[in-house]
Amino acid sequence: MFSWFGNNDDLQKQPPPPSYRDEPDNIPSGPHYSQLAKKLRPLDLPCLNVLRGKRVILASASPRRKQLLAQIGLTKIDVVPSDFAEDLDKAKYTAIEYVMETAQEKCMSVYKQEIDSDEEPALVIAADTIICSYLGAIVEKPLNYQDHLDMLKGLRDAEPHKVITAVCVMSPLEDGAAPGYTMETHVEETIVKFDKNVTDELIESYVRTGEGSDKAGGYGIQGLGTILVESISGCYDNVVGLPLRGTLKAIESVVFPQEMEERDIVL
């Protein structure tokens, strides 16, 4: 009997999917985050109300991050992907240092590019997501078909891994005081456990859908990739690509820096 979960010796061999470069993003069918947000009233929070009608930039081409921001009411987002090469030497950083530095570099590059434009941004949001294996190795996006297969099999066969996302938010200071902007960062970790009974055939079938080709770790938990996952511990939307609670706190910190400083002093 055929089963997705068990031993299947005779795997069907088919040609690999198209190149991983310049592929359109594959968003699962069904209601999108942005469609759900349109049916709800936006969050009535001072930090978000201040931004309405102003230019908010997402320094990422990820449609998932844009959809998640729509969840909290930031539906008018200007997408300006960062041109940062993301080529930091992983050997010189811990996983958290690496993802944090990458997010800050992404945010700063777009901020510098757009701050002198005709329409100055009120806010720039950048993020970077990586997978950290139980041994501490940094896992990013798959490079090709075979790398994608090996990556998912490795995550299945190993102990639970961490999904780490760093968020960096920048906003210009109204008084122009040095350095001219305020910046806040946030790091979120979520533990994800793959189902060890997932077969090679199911992994191969999933890889051929193309869904995970542009995602850290090679899978999308919000889509078909959920069939590979047994459990998670921590923030779900962090695994999707943007921890909303932490992002919201970072936005509040840069929109109202003085108020946040005074509150911290009181606390």
Q: For 13-27, how does the pLDDT look when each residue is reduced to its tens digit (9 = 90+)?
A: 555 665 565 544 554
Q: How far is 59 from 44, CA to CA, in rounded Å?
A: 24
CB neighbour class for 258 (10 Å; exposed up to 12, middle 13-18, buried from 19): exposed
pLDDT classification of 56: cutoffs 50, 70, 90:
very high
244-255 and 257-266 helices, crossing angle to 10°: 100
Burial 186-223 (b: 16+ CB within 10 A, else e): bbbbbbbbbeeebbebbbbbbbeebbbbbbbbbbbbbb
pLDDT tens, residue by residue, 131-188? 999 888 999 899 999 999 999 999 999 999 999 999 999 999 877 666 789 999 999 9
Q: What is the pLDDT of residue 4?
A: 46
Q: What is the pLDDT of residue 2?
A: 38
Q: How far is 239 from 130, CA to CA, in rounded Å?
A: 9
> What number is the average pLDDT over the span 227-253?
96
pLDDT of 127 strictly over 50: yes
For the stretch 136-140, contacts whose Cβ atoms lie closer than 8 Å and that sit 24 or more positions apart, written own/partner, are 136/94, 136/95, 138/90, 138/95, 138/98, 139/216, 139/217, 140/216
Q: What is the pLDDT of residue 152?
A: 97
Choose the CATH number for 33-266 among 3.40.50.300, 3.40.50.1220, 3.40.50.360, 3.90.950.10: 3.90.950.10
pLDDT of 115 strictly over 50: yes
What percentage of the chain has pLDDT greater than the value 90?
68
Q: Is-catalytic flag, 128?
A: yes
- C-alpha distances (whole Å) from 203 to each of 25, 192, 227, 257 are 19, 17, 10, 47
Q: What is the pLDDT of residue 67?
A: 93
Closest by CA to 156, choosing from 133, 182, 187, is 133
Q: How far is 87 from 45, CA to CA, in rounded Å?
A: 37
Helix (H) or strand (E) holding 123: strand 123-132
Q: How far is 79 from 105, CA to CA, in rounded Å?
A: 16
Domain boundaries of the chain, sorted by first residue: 33-266
Q: How far is 245 from 192, CA to CA, in rounded Å?
A: 19
Instruction: Name the catalytic one among 9, 83, 87, 128.
Output: 128
